[in-house]
Amino acid sequence: MASETTGPGASSTNPSPTHAPVSGTTAFAAVLMVVGGAMAIFEGVAALAKEHLFVVTRHYLFEFSLTGWGWVHLILGIALVLAGLAVFGGALWGRFFGVAVAGLGAIANFLWLPYYPLWALVLIVINILVAWALCMGMHREADAGLTA
C-alpha cells in the first residue's frame, strides 16, 4: 500500500513539460497578446477592405501591396491571439510561440511604419512588451520553482 502525502506542505502537482504555472507577468503578456493580436487583425482587415485609407509613401524600400500587408497582419494577429489564449491556459508551447510571433509582429509593424505610423508604433511597443513579459515570466517562475 502506497503512502499518500496530504496537507498544506504536500506537493501534489508536479511540473509538466506542457503546462507551467502562470505568474502575473505571464498573465500580463497573455492579455497584451490578445489585445495586440486583435489590433493586428483590425489592421489587416482595414488594409484588405479599405486600401484608400492608407497613404503610401513613394519609393519605400519595403513597399508591398496593401493586400499583401493585410494578409501578413491578419495572420500574425490570429497567431498572436491563439498564442495568448494558450498562455492563459498554461501551455508552455504558447510562451515560445508567443515570443516568436511577437518578434515577427514587431518586425512587420516596423516595415508598416510608412503606411500608418502611430498604429505601427503602438503595436511595436506592445509586441516588445509581450516578448519581454513572456521571457521575464519564465525567468521568475523558474526562480520561484527553485526556491519553493
Encode pLDDT of 45-61 as tens digits: 988 887 666 666 666 66
Rounded distance between C-alpha atoms, residue 114 and residue 59, angstroms: 11
- Strand, coil or helix: what is 91? strand
pTM, to two decimals: 0.74
Rounded distance between C-alpha atoms, residue 110 and residue 113, angstroms: 5
- Strand, coil or helix: what is 60? coil
| 59 burial via Cβ count (<10 Å: 0-12, 13-18, 19+) | exposed
Residue ranges of the domains in the chain?
Answer: 24-54+64-147
Encode pLDDT of 88-130 as tens digits: 888 889 999 999 999 999 999 998 888 888 989 999 999 999 9
Q: Which amino acid is at 44?
A: G
CA of 144: how far to CAs of 22, 35, 95, 109, in Å? 12, 28, 18, 35
Q: Are 108 and 73 in contact (CB under 8 A)?
A: yes
Query: Which pLDDT score is estimated for 81?
Result: 96
Is residue 72 very low, low, confident or very high in pLDDT (cuts 50, 70, 90)? very high
